[in-house]
């Protein structure tokens, strides 16, 4: 293609602008991965079409969120007693009850505890307990774990009411932490019982 241009008044020079014209009107092509996107001529700057990766990133983020929000398995009374014994030097893990050995026959029943374990405290001597073999609570205490916090609170209220009703079965301290009820022997002083409360809540 040849065109004429004016380079001075009254003079016209011809210049071959075939290649220039070809560059101006040829479609622009852009390579992106294995795809080639063609922009039509005379449409301004080319529009780059990117393959977005956000759906994959979003899926990974949702998966991580689901994993992080999964509720941890409920702690058992045995595990809680061991944790308390590790923090209170005078405490020792005792019995782990089953539905068949629970003296109250409440383990596993509706709205009652799902696990129960006892512990002893070396500051309480056998002379302080009329029947050390059968009265494990007065020898130290126990932990009862419920399905939810409301059941633990109801159980605590029931025990406090029993203390007011004759005959007295012995005094005790009770503390709750969520669905866990901690019962501590009344043979210990309030300061000593507070050690167990702190161990439960820490």
- Tens digit of pLDDT for each residue in 176-187? 999 999 999 999
Q: What percent of the chain has pLDDT over 90?
A: 49
Task: Return the closest-CA partner of residue 77 out of 56, 106, 53.
Answer: 106
- Predicted confidence band of residue 131 (pLDDT cuts 50, 70, 90): low
Whether residue 165 contacts residue 119, with contact meaning beta carbons closer than 8 Å, is answered with no
> Quick one: what percent of the chain has pLDDT higher than 70?
59
pLDDT at 189 over 60: yes
| Residue 200 clears pLDDT 80, i.e. is over it | yes
Name the β-bridge partners of 38: 29
Reported as type and span, the H/E element at residue 61 is helix 54-68
Q: Name the pairing type of β-strands 172-177 and 11-16.
A: unpaired
Higher pLDDT, 62 or 194: 194
Mean pLDDT of 71-94: 91
CA distance 23 to 198: 81
Q: Is residue 107 predicted with pLDDT exceeding 60? A: yes
Lookup: tokens for 96:
């782990």
pLDDT in tens, 1-56: 444 444 444 444 444 444 444 444 444 554 444 444 444 555 555 544 455 555 56
Pair of tokens at residue 54: 């956000």
Torsion angle of C-alpha atoms 27, 33, 34, 38, degrees rounded to 10: -10
pLDDT value of residue 128: 74
Q: Quickly state the pLDDT bin for 122 (edges 50, 70, 90).
A: very high
Q: Where are the domains of the chain?
A: 2-68, 77-201
Q: Is the Cα torsion angle 188, 194, 195, 201 positive or negative in sign?
A: positive
> Across all residues in the chain, what is the average pLDDT?
76
Per mean pLDDT, which range of 69-83, 100-114, 147-161, 169-183 is the poorest?
A: 69-83
């Amino acid at each position: 293609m040849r065109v004429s241009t004016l380079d001075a008044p009254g003079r016209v020079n011809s210049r071959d602008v075939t290649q220039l014209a070809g560059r101006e009107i040829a479609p622009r092509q852009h390579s992106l991965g294995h795809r080639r996107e063609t922009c039509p001529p005379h449409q301004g700057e080319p529009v780059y079409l990117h393959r977005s990766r956000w759906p994959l990133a979003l899926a990974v983020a949702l998966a991580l969120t689901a994993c992080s929000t999964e509720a941890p398995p409920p702690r058992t009374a045995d595990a809680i007693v061991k944790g308390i014994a590790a923090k209170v030097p005078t405490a020792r893990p005792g019995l782990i009850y089953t539905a068949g050995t629970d003296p109250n026959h409440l383990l596993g029943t509706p709205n009652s505890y799902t696990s129960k374990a006892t512990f002893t405290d070396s500051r309480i001597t056998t002379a302080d307990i009329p029947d050390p073999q059968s009265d494990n609570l007065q020898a130290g205490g126990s932990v009862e774990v419920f399905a939810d916090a409301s059941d633990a609170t109801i159980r605590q209220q029931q025990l406090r009411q029993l203390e007011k009703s004759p005959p007295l079965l012995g005094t005790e301290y009770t503390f709750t932490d969520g669905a866990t009820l901690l019962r501590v022997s009344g043979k210990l002083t309030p300061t000593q019982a507070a050690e167990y409360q702190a161990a439960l809540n820490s």
